[in-house]
Chains A and B, each alone.
Chain A
Amino acid sequence: MKIAINQSVKGENIPQPGAQQLVFSAAAKKKIKTILARYPKGREQSALIPVLWLAQQEFGNWLSVDAMELVARTLELPYIRVYEVATFYTMFNLKPVGKYHVQVCTNCACMVRGSQKVLESIQKATKTSQSGETSADDLFTVTEVECLGACVNAPMMQVNTHYYTDLTPESAAEIMNQLRDGNIPEADTPHAPKDPVTGGKYEEVK
């Protein structure tokens, strides 16, 4: 059975630009080759999570049904194998998110150090109220998440890939204001110029 194109998994109709003819860019195709080089021959399914990551990066930070179908075609997997994986892992967004996906940890260590007030401050600064809600200007999606593993720097949040730690309600709101102005404040760990999803020199080495 084929799931109707443009029908999102939650049953909402969300138009996707260029629907039905999604293709990976030439650069992305090259990256897929690097990804596949990491796994033995005949085990291409291992590349599913990295290629879903790539698809999410390529097509607006979420996975539409079209994007998942493209991944299935690319890896020659049945659509359902892609769908079940995409829905199992929380970091795959199954509906559009704002330009900044703000994920606030409220688990034990953060909770003890006041994450609730940080969350409220962020929600106030972004004019959102419920976890997973996107602001009216499509800039922010604020989600309450489980432990992000930076407990000695609690409370903390992740904005897209960046960790911001040792937050106070004031500093968290200030980061939101900076982002709204288009400035990305320096993260807790400035990342190296290597992409962990598609990086590596494996092709050359092999």
Chain B
Amino acid sequence: MPTPILKPEDKVFKNLDGADDWSIKGYKKRGGYKGLKKILKTDPADIIDTLKKSALRGRGGAGFPTGLKWSFMPRPDGKRPNYLVCNADEGEPGTCKDRDILRFDPHTLVEGMIVGCHTLGAETGYIYVRGEYYDESSRLQQALDEAYEAGLLGKNIESTGVNVDVYLHLGAGAYICGEETALLESLEGKKGQPRLKPPFPAGYGLYGCPTTVNNVETIAQVPAILKNGLDWWTRWGRENNHGTKIFSISGAVNKPCNVEAPMSIPLKELIETYADGVIGGWDNLAAIIPGGSSTPMLNPEQAGEVLMDFDGLRELGTGLGTAAVVVMNKEVDVLAVMTRISGFYKHESCGQCTPCREGVGWVYRLMSRLAEGEGSKEELDQLFNLTKRIEGRTICAFADGAMWPVQGTLKHFRDEFERRLSA
């Protein structure tokens, strides 16, 4: 049975395609901010309980249960303030969903920040947007200003006694700032180098205060879940993977797009229904990156069967990541693309841990050579061995994310490497 196509009332992001007015007027017309007052009068513990039951998992890549994450935050003790920080430092190659939220439906995020701050006992929220999204964040800034003017931000929101200030903070071009502790460092005006964990941000985050960091999409989905109820949300997706999700489908498809669809949709159906299929037909498929550049690729056989959710992709040794689907067909030089991705990680390593700083460059140079057919077959084993010696030996998950795609390439395209090496 085909997965249903979402109707406007089923969607969290009703204006993701940008067809309608993105300002507060348009958002209110689409039902935005309705029911906010009721949520702000709800006990935060009840909200967290609902989120736990909703099985909402972080949309930024790691898929950590949001309700659980929020439950780690202590109640404000009057000594240290709590903070909610929104991670809009979208930079994972293939991922472009938050950009469309910021430019076409920014008030979904603003409303999510209000609800999030209330739930977490935070009076201040920051939205950290990547520096390149300058024009997009000018819209977000306007949305924030509109919310202040409408009394939806500031003191005593909707006469509920809740106070929330939300500030926009523009980054300046560093992929690593998408890592939550690097983001906090950057927000404090430092180099974006990840912190050693523990302590986790919920105990020691921004300015040493309890902090929760969540992705744009996650925060923006919270009000919709609370307003429409658990049944509305859990209609979609398998157990533990419920809800809707924005999928970014790019690469060798006929109609690349961002689309909000039910979780657990089969990948093949996703591509054929929303992106008008692979260029040259499904049989022309070479490989698919399922969730942004860090997630290992799928071969056509796997791609034909997998369900797009956290657990489905994990079973195949990869991940949903940011649900950024990059399609490569047989006209694409997959090894060249994967080498380019390695080059990206070399460029973006923050330089803090030696295995990553030195190793990612080493891997890139090996990949470049082997993809060109220079070297020996033994070096393929050496390359794999090297990735295993980098993975898991650094402060943050950046190096893991840099190694997984290389491992995936060796798994599925070793033949192609060998063919080039013996040519």
Contact = CB atoms under 8 A, between A and B. Distances in A.
Contact of B251 (A81, A109, A146, A187): A109
Nearest to A86: B172
B95 A151 contact: yes
A149 B340 contact: no
B169 interface: yes
Interface in B131-151: 131-142, 144-145, 148-149
A162 B251 contact: no
A152 B248 contact: yes
B227 to A, nearest CB: 26
Interface string B238-264: 000000000011111000111000000
Given A152-B256, A161-B135, A146 B337 contact: no
Nearest to B251: A112
Interface stretch (A1-9, A38-46, A167-175, A177-185): A38-46
A149 B133 contact: yes
A149 B91 contact: yes
Interface residue SS majority, chain B:
mixed
B127 to A, nearest CB: 10
B303 to A, nearest CB: 15
Nearest to A43: B207
B365 interface: no
Given A108-B94, A108-B337, A151-B95, A38 B142 contact: no
A196 B168 contact: yes
B138 A195 contact: yes
A111 B340 CA distance: 9
Contacts of B190: 45, 48, 81, 85
A190 B136 CA distance: 9
Given A108-B326, A196-B140, A200-B167, A150 B99 contact: yes
Contacts of A24: none
Interface residues of A, number: 56
A65 interface: no
Interface size class for chain B? 35 or more
B248 A151 contact: yes
A152 B135 contact: no
Contacts of A27: none
B24 interface: no
A35 B347 CA distance: 30
Contact of A199 (B94, B141, B154): B141
B332 interface: yes
Contacts of B103: 189
B252 A112 contact: yes
A50 interface: yes
A107 B341 contact: yes
Contacts of B167: 38-39, 200, 202
A147 B171 CA distance: 15
Contacts of B153: 205
A161 B187 CA distance: 21
Contacts of A146: 91, 93, 175, 344, 347-348
Nearest to A107: B93
A31 interface: no
Given A112-B337, A113-B251, A89 B172 contact: yes
Contacts of A109: 93-94, 250-251, 256, 326
Given A109-B326, A205-B154, A91 B131 contact: yes
B192 interface: yes
Given A88-B192, A149-B133, A151-B324, A46 B187 contact: yes
A153 interface: yes
Interface of A: 38-40, 43, 45-50, 52-53, 81, 84-85, 88-92, 106-109, 111-113, 146-154, 158, 161-163, 187, 189-197, 199-202, 205-206
29 contacts: A45-B190, A46-B188, A46-B189, A48-B190, A49-B169, A53-B131, A53-B170, A81-B189, A88-B174, A89-B173, A90-B174, A91-B172, A107-B341, A109-B251, A109-B326, A111-B336, A112-B332, A112-B337, A147-B91, A147-B293, A149-B90, A149-B130, A151-B250, A153-B256, A191-B138, A195-B141, A197-B170, A199-B141, A205-B153
Given A49-B169, A152-B258, 8 more contacts: A43-B207, A46-B169, A85-B189, A111-B340, A112-B332, A147-B93, A201-B145, A201-B148
